[in-house]
Homo-oligomer: A and B are copies of this chain.
């Protein structure tokens, strides 16, 4: 398929042989707003922790590491967040926003987030409780 074909417009749903994947959400919209559910039974891991990142200065980066064993699901609730991932000697760049899918990231995939818009908000679901020993600078 050429670079100007559909594959250039629709990002692939999986990267690094499936070690990172875009996960679409169903959004229930009506006159009272939008409800976006996430049934944890649909995830490939048991969620043991969540964290929310807010009030990040515009253009600041966070992350910049991989995890030894933890898996994560990244959901951008507001604004726009550029994601840089590295694994298997490749780099992938993509952008998350409130209308995009979430991003599943396996252990060993290095990931950095740049908060592009003011008030960009990230919600993360993780397979492990917080462990400072889980963070690694390299990727596999």
Number of copies: 2
- Secondary structure at chain A's binding surface: helix, strand, loop or mixed? strand
Contact A50 B40, beta carbon cutoff 8 Å: yes
Contact B47 A40, beta carbon cutoff 8 Å: yes
Given contacts A77-B77, A123-B123, A130 and B52 within 8 Å (CB-CB): no
Give the shortest distance, in Å, between A51 (CB) and chain B (any CB): 4
Contact A35 B52, beta carbon cutoff 8 Å: yes
Binding site for B on A (CB under 8 A): 29, 31-41, 47-57, 60-62, 75, 77-78, 98, 115, 121, 123, 125, 129-130
Q: Which 9 pairs from chain A and chain B are nearest by CB?
A: A33-B56, A37-B51, A36-B52, A34-B55, A33-B55, A38-B50, A34-B54, A32-B60, A39-B49
